[in-house]
Amino acid sequence: MSVLADNFTPSTFVDAFRFMGDNFSLLLTKAGETSELAFAALGVALLVALPLGLWLGHKHRGLFIALGTSTLGRALPSIALIAFFIALLGVGFWNILVALVVLGVPPILANAYFAIDGVDRDAVDAARGLGMSERQIVLRVELPLGLPLILAGVRIAAVFVIATATIASVAGGNGLGDIIVSQSDRNVGLPGVLAAALWVSAMALLTALVLALAQRAASRRMSPRT
Amino acid sequence: MTRGWHVAGGPVIPSFGRSSACERSNGWFCTDWLQHHWGDTLQPALVQHIELTLIAVGIGFAIASGLALVGFRWQLFDAPFGAFSDFLYTIPSLALFQLLVPITGIGVPTVEVALVSYTLFILYRNMIAGLKSVPEEAIEVARGMGFTRLQTFVKVELPLAAPAVIAGLRIATVSTISIATVAAFIIPQGLGEPIFTGIQQNLFRTEILAAGMLAVLLGLTADGLLALLQRVVTPWSRIR
């Protein structure tokens, strides 16, 4: 810990906003790095977890897998996982990405499973009676009906991945976290730390808000009109 | 403030007097390191970690209960409370710890405020969901039998909501154990401390792995214990 700690007062928040004005392009670059990493990881996690979750849910199989991965995913300390992957593979975009994917998969997988598993069986039977193929049932009946819950899982995963992408800086990653952990750098200082912390919070909140709105739109569309 | 590992002066190979060949070469898992440092590093960190978690979940449970009672009784408050806890949950942990430092200083309170904030979302949502899932008939029967409103709440609604509440408690506890490792960025406590030390010491694998696995084991043990509690408290509900 550094002696600078004593200088940390509420007025530092004012300096943080001054820092944002003076170092706008730096923050923008770092925010770009964080979002690139986080959204790439989220994309890969979606590609892995969504089809698996949809399929398991459709077959009503794999409750244990869904529950187990979500509990294990929650129990994995992100900082240890990041550090472990960096120790294993070295610092690098792809290495950190792998760790982020590992953390992003469980909530998406679990929610997709429970969303599809919980779809009204009558609706599925009706679709089958109409002559729909299993693929059509999943894509045209179960997916739209389960979409709100699936999006809730994506939101949790997104928040989790952005938070962890920030933490990755502790072990040598790039992005806004880089500024947060370099309070001893004279050019950054405490205002810089707070500025970056505010930016990354804003990024997470904005992402969550967009997904929450999508979730609301999806559940509105599916709720029966009375 | 906090851990300026950038200025810690280049990577340092662990140089404890008795370091073994495995430690010097940063082997995958040095059991001798584990033997030597269980007592002075891992065990205290584990105890601190349990303390940090218990305090956070305890306070979080108390606050969430209060909020849930109000939010359930007066629907008007439900949406804002839910949105507020959602907001807190969304702020990345490293950022929240740093943002709290100017307000609450460097120390356990900062860490606890952040950890409590993260428990609220899960606990509040599950409490409300549990209370709302109580069948209307059950409440009507109780009222018909002459139960007062308070009696109905304590003897009918609370027990029926208990499984959802404990399910929330399980998720909140496991998450808190995991997030508490990040607290070591602010204060040298908990299982995050050996992890951060390991990172600073040229990514010393044994220490990172050992502390990380301890945190996972602690989380899974807590989850199992709470699942047992769920079964004991609500013998009528099927356990998942």
Domains of chain B: 57-233 (1.10.3720.10)
Q: Which of A165-169, B63-67, B224-228 has the lowest mean pLDDT?
A: A165-169
Sorting pLDDT into bands at 50, 70 and 90, what band is B13? low
- The percentage of residues in chain A with a pLDDT greater than 70, rounded to a whole number, is 92
Sorting pLDDT into bands at 50, 70 and 90, what band is B238? low
Q: Report yes or no: A1 at the B interface, CB cutoff 8 Å.
A: yes
Sole residue written with tokens 């409440």: B139
**Cβ separation of B174 and A71 shorter than 8 Å?**
yes
Average pLDDT over residues B34-56: 86
pLDDT in tens, A91-132: 778 888 888 999 899 999 999 998 998 888 888 889 888 988
Q: Report yes or no: B12 at the A interface, CB cutoff 8 Å.
A: no
- What is the secondary structure of A103-120 as a DSSP string? HHHHHHHHHHHHHHHTS-
Q: Report yes or no: A211 at the B interface, CB cutoff 8 Å.
A: no
pLDDT in tens, B133-178: 888 888 889 988 989 888 888 888 988 888 889 989 999 999 999 9
Sorting pLDDT into bands at 50, 70 and 90, what band is B5? very low
Q: Report yes or no: B18 at the A interface, CB cutoff 8 Å.
A: no
Q: What domains can you pick out in chain A, each with its CATH number?
A: 11-19+27-220 (1.10.3720.10)
Comparing alpha-carbon positions, the chain A residue that sits nearest to B184 is A79
- Quote the CA–CA distance of B122 and A160 in Å, as a whole number: 14
Amino acid identity, position B62: A
Q: Which CA distances in Å does A152 have to A36, A115, A173, B137? A: 22, 10, 28, 31
**Cβ separation of A80 and B4 shorter than 8 Å?**
no
Q: Which of A157, A195, A134 is nearest to A46 (CA)?
A: A157
Q: Which of B42, B21, B41 is nearest to B32 (CA)?
A: B21
* pTM of the shown model: 0.83
Q: Which CA distances in Å does A5 have to A12, A183, B150? A: 11, 10, 50
HSE, CB side, 13 Å, CA atoms: give it for residue A198.
Answer: 16
pLDDT at B9 over 50: no
